[in-house]
Chain A
Amino acid sequence: MLLIHCPYCDETLPEAEFAYAGEAHILRPDNPADVSEEEWRDFLFIRTNAKGPHYERWRHIHGCGRFFNAVRNTVTDRFLTTYKAGEPRPELDTLTEDGQ
């Protein structure tokens, strides 16, 4: 089982308390009627599908209930970091595989 650090609880906890919630930092267009069909399709369906570090959302559903963001390596399944929703995305070169 993966261990995930919740930035709100400030504890490292079993994966069973969390739910995956898709790629992070995907912004809904302010006015969907103003964007082209291609842009709307991209917002709805097109994802990075990264092999390696991936910015993604998780929810501490059986805990504090909060959504937060994480960077996880999709090859090794290691979490590089987790951070609160609304915080800027961390640069990859500041992160290590140890999650430090």
Chain B
Amino acid sequence: MTVHVDLLTARELASSRAATVSLLAPVVRFSLRVGADERDALSSALGVPLPTRIGQCSRQGETEILSLGPDEWLVLASESEAAGIIEACAAIYADAPHSLTDISDREVTLLIEGPKAGELMTLGCPRDLDRLPDGEARRTVFDGVSVVLWRDGAERFHIDVWRSFAPHVMSLLTTGCGELALE
């Protein structure tokens, strides 16, 4: 049976003394693919430097750029900044060919915070998250699902999950949130 879950309304999904899991409000996301020779042109056009090391984020205002791969970046922005980003990239396209794709609706964002947030993440993520510095992010896997995972602080994470997998990840985190509180 298909269970339809509301993925548009930001809200708390689960809360215990271990952790709190919330669904965040929609945000604008672009996938940016560009070669090494054109990278600097894109940095100037966007006014935010494209980080060169995989996992690094640069931020300017509400815009954030995360390096996901050697030629792949994720650009996050507020709705009011989106049109400006599309325009700035289009203006340099002839001299600096690249691909900028709006993928806002592809994913939803979940916030995981609380005294056992890190332990809750180990339910699905095989990475050693102690080695992920605050303020950085990685694309990784969560119980078989590709996610982008940010470490915001010692016990605070957020993840971008493809929306068709979100009900699965949300239910796993909700279960874990309750189980970790029992210990």
Is the pairing of A and B real?
yes
Q: A64 touching B146 by the CB < 8 A rule?
A: no
How many A-B residue pairs have C-beta atoms within 8 angstroms? Tell me: 39
- Known A14-B126, A16-B126: A63·B70 in contact at CB below 8 Å: no
- Chain B neighbourhood of A16, CB < 8 A: 126, 141
Interface of B is mostly: strand
Interface of A is mostly: loop
Q: B68 touching A65 by the CB < 8 A rule?
A: yes
Number of A interface residues in the complex (CB < 8 A): 14
| Chain A residue, CB-CB nearest to B146 | A62
Number of B interface residues in the complex (CB < 8 A): 13
- Chain B neighbourhood of A8, CB < 8 A: 54, 69-70
Docked pose: A13 CA to B54 CA in angstroms: 14
Interface residues of B in 119-147 (CB under 8 A from A): 126-127, 138-141, 146
Using a CB–CB cutoff of 8 Å, the interface residues on chain A facing chain B are 1, 8-10, 13-14, 16-17, 61-66
Known A1-B126, A17-B126; 6 more pairs at CB < 8 Å: A8-B54, A8-B69, A16-B141, A64-B70, A65-B68, A65-B72
